[in-house]
Structure formats: structure tokens, C-alpha cells
């Protein structure tokens, strides 16, 4: 089971996804604990929140694929649980920083993009592989990448499922700062501390207004459009291709998709 640890360093809170045996993959429990850490920020007077992964191999490899069921489901779906958590990260009133101490894939990539800023060490990569698993990614996640990267680069990222290496991630704005491994953690924490020393009402107020300005460009879906999105995602998720994508991943082979 994945664990999440919380450490306060003065006015900065560091939240660590701690499951290095599975490259810090997420599960239902760790998602809930991230939500709890986010919800506690206003009460605890935290002025900057930093997310990182345990160790130096991975920031977060996404939702644990062995825990993803195939076919019709009962109860909570992994994609809905991930989306709730990303909404909680996005709603944190103080600035958030993703320290990419290692590579990020799937929900791990979305966790990074849900943060306000991303500081990465050299040698990492980021990827969004749902097309390789037969899955249509949720609206919220697609919106976050679209807002950050623009249409063409977001489409390339999701259509190919190809990882983006660190230097290109910096060029296209997927990460904001890229530093040598020996300097990256210190730089991320120093940035968090610099932000935390500023007037919290001013910083949080500007974060809120910037988010409202961003949202002003996004048109809400009509009920019909929302139903179409849900139907499209359900068809893909319950398809044989999704079962094949999951099996191929676990068996470390190339999937054989048939469009059914």
C-alpha cells in the first residue's frame, strides 16, 4: 500500500508520496491522504505546499495499474478518485510546487501539472500513456494539460503516449525549472520558502484571481456534451482494448489493439 507523509518546515509543508517499491504509484488510500493534506492547509497556516516522491527514481508513476479493474465496475472508479484528488490539489489556496525528483507518468504527471509550479532535476521524463492502455483520459486532466501546453503539444503528448525528456519538458513549459540532481531539491525548497515569506493574503489573492482569469476562457459543457463525454469514456474503459492494454503492461509486451 502506498503511503503519504507530511512534514512541515516552518511555513512550508512537504507532502511525499512514499511507495518507492512501485515507483511511488498511487492507490485509493494515498489519494485520500493527499486530499486530507490539502484540506488541512488553511487550518494550519501553510503558505506553500510542495509535493515530491520518495527516493530519487520517481516522482510518481501514476495510479497502480494492478489496482485498476477492467470491464463494468461497482463502487469508486480509479479515474474519479484521481480527479477528486487533483481538484483538491488545484483548490489549495496557497501556491503549490511539484518537485520532480524523478519521472512522472499518468496521474503522477497530472499531479505535477495540477500544481502551480514545477521544479525538476535533470534526467527525468514525463509521460501520459492512456492511449497505450486503451483509456480516454478525464476532462479535468485534459484541461490542465491543454491550459499549460496549448492544443498542439497537449495532443502530441496524449495521442502518442511518448515520454517527454527533461530538456524538452523545459522548452515547452511542462516544467518551469530544470537543475542538476545535486541542486534541484534545495532549489525547490528555497523557492517555496521565498514564496512563503511574502504576504499570504496577497499571494493567495493573486492565485485566486489568476485561476478565475484562466477559467474565464473555459466554456462549461452542456448536459448533452457532458453525457457524450461520459459515454465515450465508458465505451473505451469497458472495451477489450483496455483489458489488452492492462495485460500488456503487466506482461511487459507490446499491446495488440483491435478497436473493440
CATH number for the domain spanning 119: value is 3.90.226.10
For residue 230, name the pLDDT band (cuts at 50, 70, 90): confident
Q: Residue 216 pLDDT > 80, yes or no?
A: no
Print burial letters for 13-41: b (CB count within 10 Å at least 16), e (below 16). Answer: bbbbbbbbeebbbbbbebbebbbebbeeb
Cα 79 to the center of its chain, rounded Å: 12
Q: From 54, 42, 38, select the one nearest 99 (Cα to Cα).
A: 54
CA separation for the pair 250, 56 (Å, rounded):
23
* DSSP code at position 26: B
Q: Which pLDDT score, from 0 to 100, does residue 66 have?
A: 76
How many other CB atoms sit within 10 Å of the CB of residue 180?
10
Q: Which pLDDT score, from 0 to 100, does residue 70 have?
A: 56
Max mean pLDDT among 1-10, 86-95, 132-141, 231-240 falls in 86-95
Q: Which pLDDT score, from 0 to 100, does residue 75 have?
A: 57
In a domain, 74, yes or no: yes
Residues 6 or more apart whose Cβ sits within 8 Å of residue 111: 34, 51, 59, 60, 85, 86, 89, 98, 104
Q: Residue 162 pLDDT > 60, yes or no?
A: yes
Q: Residue 214 pLDDT > 90, yes or no?
A: no
Region 143-169 average pLDDT: 96
Q: Per residue, what are the HEC states of 150-164?
A: CHHHHHHHHHHCCCE
In the three-class reduction of DSSP (H, G, I as helix; E, B as strand; rest coil), residue 32 is classed as helix
In a domain, 153, yes or no: yes
In a domain, 260, yes or no: no
Locus of grid cell 494492478: 66
Number of domains in the chain: 1
Q: Residue 74 pLDDT > 70, yes or no?
A: no
Region 213-220 average pLDDT: 74
In a domain, 257, yes or no: no
Residues 6 or more apart whose Cβ sits within 8 Å of residue 65: 25, 133, 246, 249, 250
Q: Decide which of 132 and 66 is more confident.
A: 132
Q: Which pLDDT score, from 0 to 100, does residue 117 have?
A: 98
Region 197-218 average pLDDT: 88
Q: Residue 201 pLDDT > 80, yes or no?
A: yes
CA separation for the pair 194, 121 (Å, rounded):
19
In a domain, 212, yes or no: no
In a domain, 242, yes or no: no
In a domain, 182, yes or no: yes
For residue 69, name the pLDDT band (cuts at 50, 70, 90): low
Domain residues for 98? 3-195
In a domain, 113, yes or no: yes
Amino acid at each position: 500500500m502506498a503511503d503519504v507523509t507530511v512534514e512541515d518546515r516552518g511555513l512550508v509543508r512537504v507532502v511525499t508520496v512514499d511507495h518507492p517499491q512501485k515507483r511511488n504509484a498511487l492507490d485509493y488510500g494515498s489519494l485520500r491522504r493527499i486530499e486530507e493534506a490539502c484540506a488541512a492547509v488553511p487550518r494550519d497556516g501553510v503558505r506553500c505546499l510542495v509535493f515530491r516522491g520518495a527516493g530519487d527514481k520517481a516522482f510518481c508513476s501514476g495510479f497502480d495499474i494492478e489496482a485498476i479493474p477492467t470491464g463494468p465496475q461497482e463502487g469508486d472508479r480509479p479515474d474519479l478518485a484521481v480527479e477528486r484528488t487533483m481538484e483538491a490539489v488545484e483548490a489549495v489556496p496557497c501556491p503549490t510546487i511539484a518537485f520532480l525528483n524523478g519521472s512522472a507518468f499518468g496521474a503522477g504527471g497530472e499531479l505535477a501539472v495540477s500544481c502551480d509550479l514545477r521544479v525538476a532535476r535533470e534526467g527525468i521524463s514525463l509521460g501520459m500513456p492512456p492511449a497505450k492502455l486503451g483509456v480516454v483520459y478525464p476532462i479535468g486532466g485534459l484541461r490542465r494539460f491543454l491550459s499549460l501546453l496549448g492544443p498542439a503539444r497537449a495532443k502530441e503528448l496524449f495521442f502518442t503516449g511518448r515520454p517527454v525528456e527533461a530538456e524538452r519538458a523545459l522548452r515547452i513549459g511542462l516544467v518551469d525549472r530544470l537543475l542538476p540532481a545535486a541542486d534541484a531539491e534545495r532549489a525547490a525548497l528555497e523557492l517555496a520558502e521565498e514564496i512563503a515569506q511574502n504576504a499570504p493574503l496577497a499571494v493567495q489573492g493573486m492565485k485566486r484571481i489568476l485561476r478565475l482569469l484562466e477559467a474565464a476562457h473555459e466554456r462549461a459543457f452542456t448536459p448533452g456534451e457532458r453525457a457524450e463525454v461520459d459515454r465515450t469514456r465508458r465505451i473505451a474503459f469497458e472495451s477489450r482494448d483496455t483489458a489488452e492494454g492492462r495485460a500488456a503492461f503487466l506482461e511487459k509486451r507490446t499491446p495488440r489493439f483491435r478497436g473493440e
